[in-house]
Structure 1
Amino acid sequence: MFEYKYLSKEHLKGFNKYKYSAVDTSPLSNYVMHPTWNTIVKVIPKSIAPNLITFAGFLCMVAVVAILTAYDYEFFAAGGRPGLAGYECDVPNWVFTFCGVMIFLAYNLDGLDGKQARRIGVSGPLGELFDHGLDSYIVFLIPYSIISIFGRDPVFSVPCLRGLLIVISVVMNFYVSHCEKYNTGTLYLPWSYDLSMWVCSVLFLIAGAYGPEYYKHYVFGDVTFAQMLEVVIHVMGCITTYPVAVYNVYLSYKTPGGASKKYPFLEATKPIWSMLVMTAAVIIWAVKSPNNILEQHPRAFILMYGTLFSNISSRLIIAEMSHRRCELLSWMTWPLLKGIMISLHLPHLESVVLHLLLVLFVLSHVHYGICVVRQICAHLKISCFTVPKEKRK
C-alpha cells in the first residue's frame, strides 16, 4: 500500500549531494529562542530521534484542530450562530488554554528537532524534508485554528471569505520562502514566523483566561480587533516576506558563482503557477458557489485548501532539495477544476463534491508523505524514528 515510488532515481541522487543552507536573522529567534533550545536539548535523551520530536510537534497541532473541530465544527462558537440574538460561547475556556499551550509546545518542538539532530550527529536530507513537509501543514493549521477565537460574529469578526484570505496570506509567506530557496539554494527564514507563533499562543491563552469576548471591542473608531489583526497579517507578508524574497533572488542571480541556480525567468517563476492556479480556483469557487459553499461548510472547504497547499509545498521542497525542476501544475489541479465545474452546473451535488475532494486530497497527501519518507529511508538505509546505536552514546 505504501510501496509506491513517487521519487525518480534522479531525485534520490540529488538528495545524496544536498547540503542544508539557511539564514535566520530574527532577533527573537537568535537572542531568545535559540539560546533556550540549546539549553533544553541538553536534557533530551540521545535515544530520541529528531524526527520523533518533529512528529510530536505536528501531533500537538492535530490535537488543537481535533478538539476545536469537536467543540466548534461550524466556527459559530464565538458568535454569529443563526437564530441566537446574544453572545454565547459553546467552547469552554480550558479548550482555548489547551490550544495556546499546544501551539507553543509545537513551536518549541519544531525548534528542538534540528538541535537534537546536530547534537547526536544525524542531520541529513530526510530530517529536513520531514520537518519542512510537516511545517507546510502546521503553517496552515495555525490560522485555521485561530478562526474559532473570533467565530463568525457579524460585527466583531470577519466574513468567511475574508477568513479564507487570511489563511491564504499566512501560508503564502511559507511558500514564497521556499520559492526563494528553489532559486537561491538558501532558506531565508522570515521574521514573521517566530513572532506569529508567540502571538497565536498568546491569543489563545488570553481567550482561555477571559473568554473570546475579550476580543469583541473596537480598537479605534469603527475598527474592531479582528479587523486590525486582519490588516496586520496582510501587511506583514507584504513588508517582511515578499519584497525581501524578490530582493534575495535578485542578489543571488547578480552575484557571480554562489549557490544560485540562475534559472531563466520562466523556469525561475515555475513554482508560482501550480499554487497560483489552485488558489485562484478555490477563491473563484468560494465567490461563485451557487450554494455559498464556504459559508455552509467553512471547515471542510478551508481544510481542503490547506491540504492542497501542503501537497504542492511538499513537492516544491523535494524539487529544491534534490536539485530537480519543479512541476508546472499539480495533478490535484485537475480533479479540483472538474469538481468546481460540476458544482457550478449541478448545484445540488456541490456539498457532496466538496467532501469527496477533501477525502481524496487528504488520503492522497498522506499516501504521498508516507511513501516518500519510506523511499528516502530505503535509499539512505536509515530509519525515520530510530537513532542508530552508535549515536546514542
Structure 2
Amino acid sequence: MAIKYLNNDHIKGFDKYKYNSLDTSPVAVYVMHPFWNAVVKLYPMWLAPNLLTFVGFLFQVYLFLLVAYYDWDFFSNNRTRTDYQPIPNWVWYVAAICQFLGHTLDGTDGKQARRTGSSTPLGELFDHGSDSILCALMPIGLFSIFGKGFEDFGGSSWIFFATQWHIIGTFFITHWEKYLTGVLFLPWSYDFSQVAIVIVYLLTGIFGFEVWKVVLPLGIQFNYFFLGLCCAGAVVFSLPYSIYNISRAYQNGTGKNRSFNEAVSPLIPMILLLLISIFWALFSPTDILEHHTRIFLLTFSAIFSNITVRLIISQMSDTLAYANNSLMMLFGVAAFVVCVLGLAEYEVRILHGVFVIIQLLHFHYLVTVVNQLCDHFNIYAFSITSRPRQKNHVK
C-alpha cells in the first residue's frame, strides 16, 4: 500500500482553501510587481505556473552547487589561505543571473496562474515548499563571498550558523503567523534582500571579492555589518511585525482564534531542532560545525524545510499542526549518540549518513504530497491540462 501523508481532513481542507496575502513592501509594490506584470505577458498561455516555480528553483540550486564546487570549505576567498584557489569572477556573474531569474520566476508564477485560470492550492504549496528549501540555500551561497577567517575580514562557522538560523527562523515565523491569522503577511525584507543579493553578486564579479574586505566608518568590518544586517532583518523588523499581527488578530477576532496549546505546538519542533543543532555543535567530539560546516547547515536546514512544509499544509487545510517531527527526532538521536556516547571516530560518517537519509525522506515526503494533491484535483504538476478523474477520488 502506498504511503499517504495527507489524510481526509487535509484533503477536505484544501478544497475550501482560499489564498489571502498582504504585501506592502515598497520594493515589491513599486518595483517588483510592475516588472513582473510586464514579464508575465511574455509567457505563452500553455506554460504551467508550477513549471515556472520549478525552473526558478533549479536556477537557485545550480547557483548553490556552482559556488559549493569552487568553495566547499568557505576558504577560497580567504587571502591568507594559499592552499585554496579564489573563486573565479565569472562564477559571481552566473550567480547574479541565476538569482535574478530565480526571483523573477518565483514572482511571476502566481501571476501566470491567475492569468491562465489555473490557480490551485497545489500551486501555493509548491511555491512555498520550494521557498522553504531555497531560503536555506541562499545564505550559504553568500557566505562564500566573505569566507571563513577573522584575520581576513571573514566569518566563522558560528556566525554562519547564527545567520542561517535567523533567516530560516524568519521564514518559519511568517508561516506560523499565517497559521494563526489566516493571512500571509509578506516581510518587507524579502524582495529587498533578493534584489540586494543580485547586486552583491554583480559587484563581486566586477570588482572581485576583495571589495568587501574593508573597514566601514566607526571601525566596523563590512563582513560584520552585512551578516549583522541579515540578523537584524529578522529580529528588529520581521519578528515584532509578526507578533503585532498575531496579537491584533486575536484581539479583533479576525484570525483562527486557536487555543494557546494549538498556537504554540508548531513552535515545538523548531525550538527542539534549534536546541539539538546547538547541542551537537557545542559538544561535538570533532568540532563538526567548524570542519564540516556546509553539510551540518544543510542537514538541519532540510529538517527545517520539512517542519515548515507540514506547517504550511496545516494552515492551508485549516488543520492542527503536529508538535513532533520524525526527521528532527532522527537528528536528535544522532546528536545524542555522537556527543553523549562519544563516538568521535564515527561522527563524520554519522553526520553524512543522517544527511543523506534526511534528504531522501524529505524528498519522498514532498513528492508524495504533490502526487496526492494532483490525484485529488485531477491535474498534472507541470501542465495546465486536466487529467482524467480518478475512481478513488476523495470526497
Asked if 2 retains the 8 angstrom alpha-carbon contact of 1:78 and 1:153, the reply is: no
Q: Deviations over 1:232-260 (max 9, x none)?
A: 1121212221111111111111114x3x1
SS at match of 1:149: helix
CA drift of 1:389 comes to 7.6
After TM superposition, the structure 1 = structure 2 runs for residues 1-393 of structure 1, keeping only pairs within 5 Å, are 3-79=2-78, 84=82, 89-155=85-151, 156-256=153-253, 258=254, 260-344=255-339, 345-388=342-385
CA drift of 1:162 comes to 1.1
SS at match of 1:325: coil
Cα separation, 1, equivalents of 2:79 and 2:213:
12
Q: How many residues end up aligned between the 2 structures?
A: 384
Asked if 1 retains the 8 angstrom alpha-carbon contact of 2:380 and 2:386, the reply is: no
Cα separation, 2, equivalents of 1:221 and 1:184:
42
CA drift of 1:194 comes to 0.4
SS at match of 2:286: coil
SS at match of 1:43: coil
Range that drifts further, 103-112 or 150-159:
150-159
Output the amino acid matched with 2:285: P
Cα separation, 2, equivalents of 1:36 and 1:175:
27
SS at match of 2:41: helix
SS at match of 2:191: helix
Instruction: State the identity as a percent.
Output: 38
Asked if 2 retains the 8 angstrom alpha-carbon contact of 1:74 and 1:298, the reply is: yes
Asked if 1 retains the 8 angstrom alpha-carbon contact of 2:12 and 2:317, the reply is: yes
CA drift of 1:70 comes to 1.3
Asked if 2 retains the 8 angstrom alpha-carbon contact of 1:80 and 1:151, the reply is: no
CA drift of 1:68 comes to 1.1
Q: Give 5+ residue unaligned stretches, structure 2.
A: 388-395
Q: Deviations over 1:244-285 (max 9, x none)?
A: 1111111111114x3x11011121111111111001111221
Output the amino acid matched with 2:27: L
SS at match of 2:161: helix
Asked if 2 retains the 8 angstrom alpha-carbon contact of 1:61 and 1:138, the reply is: yes
Q: Deviations over 1:151-178 (max 9, x none)?
A: 1132301111111110111111111000
Cα separation, 1, equivalents of 2:80 and 2:55:
34
CA drift of 1:220 comes to 2.6
Output the amino acid matched with 1:40: V
Asked if 2 retains the 8 angstrom alpha-carbon contact of 1:80 and 1:154, the reply is: no
CA drift of 1:310 comes to 0.8
Q: 1:113 to 1:264 in 2, by over 3 A?
A: same
Asked if 2 retains the 8 angstrom alpha-carbon contact of 1:81 and 1:152, the reply is: no
CA drift of 1:90 comes to 2.4
Cα separation, 2, equivalents of 1:290 and 1:81:
27
SS at match of 2:122: helix
C-alpha root-mean-square deviation of aligned residues, in Å?
Answer: 1.6
Asked if 2 retains the 8 angstrom alpha-carbon contact of 1:342 and 1:349, the reply is: no
Cα separation, 1, equivalents of 2:225 and 2:290:
22
